[in-house]
Structure 1
Amino acid sequence: MSAEPVTIRIRGGGLYMSAVVCDRYFAGVEAVVLLRPDDDVIVLPVRHAAAGGYLLKRRNAAGDRVVFAPEFFHSHGLGDDVNGEFAAHWDDNRAALVVSIH
């Protein structure tokens, strides 16, 4: 997949992705796992619903999605004061979308 950067929005405990980003990296995926091993947020697709994770909820008819995970963001120092757009890219080695929080 392309490492072309995309934009992800974080606001109010939610991670917002456009339909284009979801179609490119998470087509057919209904849930994701969020990790924060360093300053980045790692978004991993969950291929089987029974595996758990956070739901990719549809926001509108255009297919934009939100991952609502306030407890994740708060526990990793990204409380309600984090509100903005962040660069993200696909990392083939991690098989995940990496959101740069700097």
Structure 2
Amino acid sequence: MSSSTVIIKDGAVYLSSDVYTRFFDRLESVILLRRDRDLCILPVRHSAAGGYLLKMRNKAGDRVVHAPDFFRESGSLKNLCTEFAAEWSSTHGALMIAGAFEV
């Protein structure tokens, strides 16, 4: 499967409309998890489950997840502006950014 691009900048995760539609279409929130050096972005199917809001950034449908607390607690990536390759993992049921916490 081809990889998608995700940008992490100033404690936020930026998803293009293509990435949003492909992996999180019609969802309002996601859960962010750190698994060793990897970042997992998991879809939240029921709003009562919580998570971080997928806020619309522009008319093109790009989304942003503001999560400074997550990155602060993870101790990394907070002030970076980095573009990452991300791939869907059916094993984890998440969009995975391998090695995101090595930067």
Q: TM-score range by the shorter chain?
A: over 0.9
Higher helix share: 2
Match of 2:14 in 1: 16
Unpaired stretches in structure 2, ≥5 consecutive residues: none
Is the CA contact 1:56–1:67 (under 8 Å) kept in the aligned structure 2?
yes
RMSD: 1.0
Count the aligned residue pairs.
100
Moved over 4 A (4+): none
Counterpart-to-counterpart distance in 1, 2:82 and 2:37: 15
Instruction: Give TM-score, length-normalised by structure 1.
Output: 0.93
Is the CA contact 1:4–1:90 (under 8 Å) kept in the aligned structure 2?
no
Identity percentage over the alignment?
48
Unpaired stretches in structure 1, ≥5 consecutive residues: none
Match of 1:63 in 2: 61
Match of 1:41 in 2: 39
Where 2:35 maps in the other structure, the secondary structure is coil
Where 1:98 maps in the other structure, the secondary structure is strand
Give the residue type in structure 2 aligned to 1:71. Answer: D
Instruction: Give TM-score, length-normalised by structure 2.
Output: 0.92
